[in-house]
């Protein structure tokens, strides 16, 4: 059985919950990613912030990016366990129409599964089905 650990991108970096949106945007730019997990002082996953959150909710909403903390964007986050099957990973992403999902092991963030990871590991027909369900 192939698991989330087998297909995830390891070594994901968190943005601190007290960082502001400018810091988060710079971090995304420097890491060349479209989202960042938000972690607290307890070293636990508290949410995810995306480049879309920053643009649509913050910039278009007229927020002061330097004064707005990423913790204000940390809504409910869906995640999978490192030992979950790829079928469970797909189900979580499809059911919640999300394009990336954090991978947790023993209450710690260990990686992220994104569309790119799925594209590298899934057969074409399974990938097409995923895309149809997430973007429908």
Gap between the Cα atoms of 44 and 38, Å rounded: 8
CA distances from 114 to 9, 39, 70, 111 (A): 8, 19, 21, 10
| Segment 4-35, tens digit of pLDDT | 999 999 988 999 999 999 999 999 999 999 88
The pLDDT value recorded for residue 15 is 95
pTM, whole model, 2 decimals? Answer: 0.86
């Amino acid at each position: 059985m192939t698991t989330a650990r087998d297909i995830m991108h390891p070594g994901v970096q968190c943005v601190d919950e007290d960082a502001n949106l400018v810091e988060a945007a710079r971090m995304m730019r420097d890491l060349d990613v479209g989202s960042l997990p938000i972690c607290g002082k307890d070293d636990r996953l508290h949410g995810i912030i995306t480049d879309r959150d920053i643009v649509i909710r913050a910039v278009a909403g007229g927020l002061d990016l330097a004064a707005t903390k990423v913790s204000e964007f940390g809504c409910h986050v869906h995640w999978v366990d490192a030992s979950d099957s790829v079928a469970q990973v797909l189900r979580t992403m499809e059911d919640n129409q999300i394009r990336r999902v954090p991978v947790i092991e023993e209450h710690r963030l260990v990686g992220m599964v994104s569309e790119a990871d799925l594209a590298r590991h899934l057969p074409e027909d399974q990938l097409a089905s995923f895309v149809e369900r997430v973007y429908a």
